[in-house]
Amino acid sequence: MVATPLMNITKVETSKLKDLNLENIPFGKFYSDHMLEADYIDGEWTNVEIKPYQPLLLEPSVAAIHYGQAIFEGIKAYKDPNGNPFIFRPKDNFKRFNLSAQRMQMPEVPEEIFMEGMRQLVEIDKNWIPTQADHSLYIRPFMFSSDPVIGVKPSETYKFMIILSPTGPYYTAPMRIYVEEKYTRAAPGGIGFAKAAGNYGASMLATAEAKKLGYDQVLWTDAFEHKYLQEIGTMNVFFIIGNKAVTPSLEEGTILEGVTRDSAMQVLKEMGFEVVEQKITIDDLIQAHKAGALYEVFGTGTAATISLIKELRYKDYVMQFDTALWQTAPELKKRLNAIRYGQVPDQYGWMMPV
Ligand SMILES: *Cc1c(COP(=O)(O)O)cnc(C)c1O
């Protein structure tokens, strides 16, 4: 395809790729040669360019740093067995990004900048897409308010950027999860459904306290009674109860609507499960566990894909699972990966060619 005239492209003279071993790379520590940058000024998007990855020069008064008008997305690119690059369901992330923008009183990013900009950036850096199992190129679009003004008000200028990070597996081992009853991630009317930076800053103390007790992450509960289950850290959660796959429903706006969540729901149906989105309490879960009907618990998200949960603790009640015996989550992961790595026909139309 031809570059849109709207976009300026400056390429690096020598790639940094030769200094990096794409095998066994940690999550989110290395960045590719190029990045996309665009500015929102006087009510329109301008200065759209792809250029060498480099630091930003910002005034210390930049509004996002003080008041957190900042949002992001997480997407992954893969190569099929012939080495052709594809991006997994980017249009869904594009729509969610603009929902987050709307909630945070930020301007929407037009489709040709977000989608076509991302496609061109990944095309330029396609050699950065690792090919071994559980590896991929993580795509991080983000936007922040950039007025050098410390009054509390929506900014008049914004920056939209995309950076790329080659990545290995996010969580490797099955996780131990602490059911959170003190801290809250999201309340109705808040920003839980948005991928807004402040959600993550607010979550870190709870996670740190769970870690001190020997847990990897928390399972968030509702703000009023701390009974209704929401999500695990930055992943959506699924429970296999009997022949049902149950995941918390979205209606209160306290849960991030994951693209992996939606993909998992479709594949679980294909696997013969009755997929149910409903409000579910910790008491419902304990009851199912006591009845011997709670078979599996797992998290879903772009970074981690599917994360197996080997222990859930609520007060003094501990639920333990032998994940080595599980059938569902490993099969789900296998099917999702087969689609993403282009090993089976893409019957859902999820893979966008680059
Ligand atoms: C990003 C995210 C998810 C997972 O969404 P995906 O689109 O599947 O990556 C779930 N919960 C939270 C809080 C998130 O930020």
pLDDT digits (tens, 9 = 90+) for 116-155: 999 999 999 999 999 888 899 999 999 999 999 998 888 9
User: Ligand 1 centroid to 194 CA: how many Å?
Assistant: 9
User: Ligand 1 centroid to 235 CA: how many Å?
Assistant: 5
Report how far residue 181's alpha carbon sits from residue 189's, in angstroms, rounded to the nearest whole number.
20
Which atom, in ligand 1's list, is nearest to the CA of 303?
A: 9
Helix residue spans in 239-298 (DSSP H): 259-270, 282-290
Residue minimizing CA distance to atom 10 of ligand 1 = 235
Q: 198-205: long-range contacts (C-beta < 8 A, 24 or more apart)?
A: 198/68, 198/70, 200/234, 201/68, 203/233, 203/234
User: Ligand 1 centroid to 99 CA: how many Å?
Assistant: 14
Which atom, in ligand 1's list, is nearest to the CA of 93?
A: 7
Which atom, in ligand 1's list, is nearest to the CA of 199?
A: 13
Which atom, in ligand 1's list, is nearest to the CA of 300?
A: 8
48-100 pLDDT, tens per residue?
A: 999 999 999 999 999 999 999 999 999 999 999 999 999 999 999 999 999 99
Pocket test for ligand 1, best of 234, 306, 332 (most atoms within 8 A of CB): 234
Contact 87, 76 (CB under 8 A): yes
Pocket test for ligand 1, best of 93, 139, 259, 302 (most atoms within 8 A of CB): 302
Residue minimizing CA distance to atom 13 of ligand 1 = 234
Which atom, in ligand 1's list, is nearest to the CA of 74?
A: 9
Report how far residue 211's alpha carbon sits from residue 218's, in angstroms, rounded to the nearest whole number.
9
**Residue 22: predicted pLDDT:** 79
How do the pLDDT tens digits run along the chain, 354 residues long?
454 557 899 999 999 998 888 777 888 889 999 999 999 999 999 999 999 999 999 999 999 999 999 999 999 999 999 999 999 999 999 999 999 999 999 999 999 999 999 999 999 999 999 988 889 999 999 999 999 999 888 899 999 999 999 998 775 689 999 999 999 999 999 999 999 999 999 999 999 999 999 999 999 999 999 999 999 999 999 999 999 999 999 999 999 999 999 999 999 999 999 999 999 999 999 999 999 999 999 999 998 889 999 999 999 999 999 999 999 999 999 999 999 999 999 999 999 999
Residue minimizing CA distance to atom 14 of ligand 1 = 234
Which atom, in ligand 1's list, is nearest to the CA of 233?
A: 13
User: Ligand 1 centroid to 256 CA: how many Å?
Assistant: 6
Tokens found for residue 307: 């994360």
User: Ligand 1 centroid to 257 CA: how many Å?
Assistant: 7
Q: Is the dihedral of CA 82, 84, 89, 93 positive or negative?
A: positive
Residue of 88, 114, 160 whose CA lies nearest to 305: 88
Pocket test for ligand 1, best of 91, 96, 136, 235 (most atoms within 8 A of CB): 235
User: Ligand 1 centroid to 193 CA: how many Å?
Assistant: 9
**Residue 239: predicted pLDDT:** 98
**Residue 24: predicted pLDDT:** 76
Report how far residue 90's alpha carbon sits from residue 42's, in angstroms, rounded to the nearest whole number.
28
User: Ligand 1 centroid to 207 CA: how many Å?
Assistant: 16
Residues having CB closer than 6 A to ligand 1 are: 74, 195, 231, 234-236, 256, 258-261, 300-302
**Residue 161: predicted pLDDT:** 98
User: Ligand 1 centroid to 171 CA: how many Å?
Assistant: 15
User: Ligand 1 centroid to 260 CA: how many Å?
Assistant: 8
Q: How far is CA 214 from CA 30, 88, 218, 233, 313, in A?
A: 29, 34, 11, 15, 11
* Full set of structural domains in the chain with CATH: 8-169 (3.30.470.10), 175-326 (3.20.10.10)
Q: Is the dihedral of CA 83, 300, 238, 277 positive or negative?
A: negative
Tokens found for residue 30: 């290395």
**Residue 5: predicted pLDDT:** 56
Contact 91, 112 (CB under 8 A): no
**Residue 171: predicted pLDDT:** 57
Residue 18: other Cβ atoms inside 10 A: 6
